[in-house]
Structure 1
Amino acid sequence: MYHATDPRAALAAAAPAKAKPVQAFAGAEYARFYAEPPQETGSFGKTWLARGQNFIVAYSDVVDGGSLVRKNQVDEYCIILPDAAVGATVTWGGETTTIPGYSIAFVPPGDSTVTLPKGGRIIRLFSTVAPDLAAQCSNAASYASPHPNLPPFQPWPEPKGGWKVRPYSLEIKGEQGRFGRIFRCTTLMVNFLDPRVGLRDITKLSPHFHDDFEQGSLVIDGAFVHDIRWPWTPDMTIWRDDEHELLAAPSLTVIPPPSVHTSRSVLPGFNQMIDIFSPPRVDFSEKPGWVLNADDYPMPGA
């Protein structure tokens, strides 16, 4: 049910009917970092952690010169520097890479250190293969048992040319027919959506659903209402009420399949949201030109 002006309208027309009959639903997850204590504090600053079934969001406020260290990281992870004035250095494999502000970067498995010389906010995204981080998440108890309607996590192929720190600028202008600014790695897909200035037009919303993957919606500026509706099934005992949740920045919403959902900015001024998927989405990856670093990260079977 995308509006005709939404680039995703073509996806809906081509989507195959592949979902298994639904026998149980999971609820949405809401983590309001602005209203909750951080899960980590230290000389680096503060970090809030929340998760979906396959991904973890670590949102950090870092002091000048603060460092975020990962030891024995099992798989690739992502860092996002949403502010042009806040850059970082990433040390991995005995080399240090300078990452300018307003960038996204992917960091290989193993030991790594991310340092913010001038401090500021940084977002790191991990798979839930990192057990120490998964255990610290504010909603860890919700995933003590796997949520329904989701297949097991499978990473995508390793990048062309081998492992290295791979930064990409977010200074990419919108393009007709392309949806947001999409990047992928072996474990994650990130869509740094075009910002919304002011309130979204409620006559041009985009209610839609996913058969078999969660969507993480990370609000980093402004505020959004997430409208979520679960379909009716023959078993009325699993029906759920509609939800219309207001979340300001910074916050994470995890939207479960196969709920119908849409989001709308609700504050005047600048509203910014980032969508997160793990593993990467096939449908977005199959659209020519949508994944901006597709040349570096092959699809399965490529």
Structure 2
Amino acid sequence: MATANTMYTSDDPRSKLASGSAVSGGTAALKGFGASSYALFGETAPQIDDETGKTWLARGQNFIIAYTLAKPGATFERRGQVDEYVLLIEEQDVPATLSANGQNESIPGFSFVIMPPGDSSITLPKGGEIVRMFSRDNEDLAALCSNAAVYAQQHPNIPPFVKWPEPPAGYKIRVYSLDVPEVQGRFGRMWRCTTFMVNVFYPVGPRDPEALSPHHHDDFEQCSLALGGSYTHHLRWPWTAKQSEWREDEHVVCPAPSIGVIPAKSIHTSACTAPEDNRLVDIFAPPRHDFSKMEGWVLNADEYPVPPEG
């Protein structure tokens, strides 16, 4: 996977990534472009509204995001889950009881969790805000997504979804606290598994509009999940020889909770605009090779092998 990084500021940790292709049309003239997609969870009706609470579902090409405001005592089960999925609880006082394949864990909240394939359940004694992330292979959830029609056809420039190697220690519930100190030169708080790479950024104030980071990804989407504050996603598509492929620039305001799905080849940057508590989570499926090569960036790198590129 190649990522253009020529427009990062010098103090951005991503400026140290190996350079990808230049920000230009490149091979896009042959493959066209996919469309962006947005979901404003707080401003639309949920896809599920029952005894568990309210759940909004939206997707990208390779992933499904389930944002839930759970009722006290709610339980969320998966039977015959086909692959690993992610549970993110960013609030401090949202405890959960987790069960999977005979393993049981109790967590206080403020956690990043990898759930294994098979049968599993998540129970929230106090209720609260949670996010679950599933791969595209979970067709029962994909069909419920508010933007399912956008991905009825495979988007251009994105290769078939291939999961990363299984963990040598086997599948199990893996719990990581979000209480990770900031380290200069490391990019957020990042974990990966066989299906996802997730970067949970620290809360920040408004971004300096004179220090943005426009860049593009050659062959994968980025999902930007806002859990606090508000973000404006700026997107621009290069011109190609085919005028029919040209797209207008986008400057889409996405207050939390929301997602913006940024397609391959589009030049993009996001600016947080709220006075405080802007909280963003970047999501990639499958994981990224370039981030995995950076020493110390992936906090659980020792648990998951990296496959050969290509």
TM-score range, shorter chain: over 0.9
Runs of 4+ off more than 4 Å: none
User: Are positions 1:172 and 2:174 aligned together?
Assistant: no
Residue 253 of structure 1 is matched in structure 2 by 260
Find out whether 1:149 has 2:157 as its counterpart: yes
Letter in 2 for 1:75: D
Amino acid in the other structure paired with 1:251: S
Q: How much has 1:98 moved relative to structure 2? A: 1.2
Quick one: distance in 1 between partners of 2:211 and 2:117? 42
Give the residue type in structure 1 aligned to 2:15: A
The one-letter code of the counterpart of 2:292 is S
Of 122, 140, 147 in structure 2, the residue corresponding to residue 139 of structure 1 is 147
Q: Aligned residue for 1:89?
A: 97
Partner of 2:247: 240
Name stretches of at least 5 consecutive residues in structure 2 with no aligned partner: 1-6
Residue 270 of structure 1 aligns to a residue whose secondary structure is: coil
What are structure 1's unaligned runs of at least 5 residues? none
Distance (Å, rounded) in 2 between the aligned partners of 1:274 and 1:228: 18
Offset at residue 167 of structure 1 (A): 0.5
Cα deviation, residue 14, structure 1: 3.0
Read off the aligned partner of 1:10 and give its amino acid letter.
K
- Give the deviation of 1:239 after TM superposition: 0.4
Alignment partner, residue 9 of structure 1: 15
Secondary structure, aligned partner of 1:8:
helix
Give deviations 1:116-156, integer Å, cap 9, x for gaps: 11110000000010000000000001111111110000000
Q: Tell me whether 1:185 sits opposite 2:185 in the alignment.
A: no
Partner of 2:114: 106
Alpha-carbon offset, residue 16 of structure 1: 5.6
1:284 aligns to what SS in structure 2?
A: helix
1:278 aligns with 2:285: yes
Query: Aligned with 1:196: secondary structure?
Result: coil
Q: Aligned residue for 2:215?
A: 208
Root mean square deviation, CA, Å: 1.3
- Secondary structure at the aligned position of 2:278 is classed as strand
TM-score (norm 1): 0.96
Instruction: Tell whether 2:86 aligns with 1:74.
Output: no
Name the SS of the counterpart of 1:141 in structure 2: helix
CA shift digits 1:279-302 (9 cap, x unpaired): 000000010100000011111149
- Render the CA deviation track for 1:5-34: whole Å, top value 9, x for unaligned: 1000111x53367x6443311121010111
Counterpart secondary structure, 2:281: strand
Once the two structures are superposed, residues 134-191 of structure 1 have per-residue CA deviations (whole angstroms, 9 ceiling, x without a partner) of 0000000111111111000000011121111000011111111111111000000000
Say which SS state the counterpart of residue 133 (structure 1) adopts: helix
Residues 28 and 265 in structure 2, CA contact (< 8 A), matched pair in contact too: no
Percent of residue pairs identical: 52
State the aligned residue count.
299
